[in-house]
Amino acid sequence: MREAVEKRSPEFLVCVRLLRRLDEIIAEGNGDGPEADAVRSQMEEPWYAMTEGEQHLLDLLSADVCTLWKATPLRQAPKAEARAGFDAALRTEDWREVLAALHRAPGLAEAPQAALMRAQAWRALGHPDLADEFIALARRLLDIAPPRNTAVRRRRATPMDLPTFRSAGR
């Protein structure tokens, strides 16, 4: 399923902006303070005005942006079923499912590879700014990646190129 770039509603874009602002406030240690509550209140009306599809996308985004500053959880080898579903989502370019699968089973990809996949997904979903943040994350992770991570490091040869993932098994 190749997903055409969808036009997002104004409410979605407002929620993204407010979410990023809320993250700044939480990072300052004021997540339970009045400013954070005010941002949450501002998010309510646009949240309920969005379609379920956009709400789901914002749910994914809320988890993806956390990987920009925080290590992902301990990785367990994914079950064969999860791997097969993930590969199918990559093959069909079902980017929402790719993003969801990376959170359901973080062991599907190493951190730099996951960052690149997220970059590709968000670019395909029409959010190039967010994609650029994941490219930058991938670069940072590759700089500290162990030497054995050759599959991902090889792709650094042309750093501005965005690798295209067809199968996580490659």
Give dist(CA 144, CA 149) in Å, integer: 10
- Shortest Å, Cβ 131 to other proteins: 18
Q: Which is nearer to other proteins, 117 or 142 (CB)?
A: 117
Binding-site size for other proteins (CB under 8 A) equals: 29
Give yes or no for a contact between 163 and 142, defined as CB atoms under 8 angstroms apart: no
Query: What own/partner pairs with CB < 8 Å and gap ≥ 24 does 8-12 have?
Result: 8/54, 8/126, 9/49, 9/50, 9/51, 9/54, 10/46, 11/45, 11/46, 11/47, 11/49, 11/50, 11/54, 12/46, 12/50, 12/54, 12/57, 12/58
Of 104, 136, 151, 164, the one binding other proteins (CB under 8 A) is 104
* 107 near other proteins, rule: CB under 8 A: no
Of 41, 92, 150, 164, the one binding other proteins (CB under 8 A) is 41
Give dist(CA 24, CA 149) in Å, integer: 32
Mask of contacts with other proteins, 64-93, x by CB under 8 A? --x------x--------------------
Of 12, 106, 133, 135, the one binding other proteins (CB under 8 A) is 106
Residue 107: exposure state from Cβ atoms within 10 A (0-12, 13-18, ≥19): middle
- Shortest Å, Cβ 161 to other proteins: 28
Which of 53-61, 128-136, 140-148, 158-166 is the region at the interface with other proteins (rule: CB under 8 A)?
Answer: 53-61
* 20 near other proteins, rule: CB under 8 A: no
Q: Which is nearer to other proteins, 45 or 143 (CB)?
A: 45
Chain residues binding other proteins by CB under 8 A are: 19, 22-23, 26, 31-32, 36-37, 39-41, 43-44, 47-48, 51-52, 55, 58-60, 62-63, 66, 73, 100, 103-104, 106
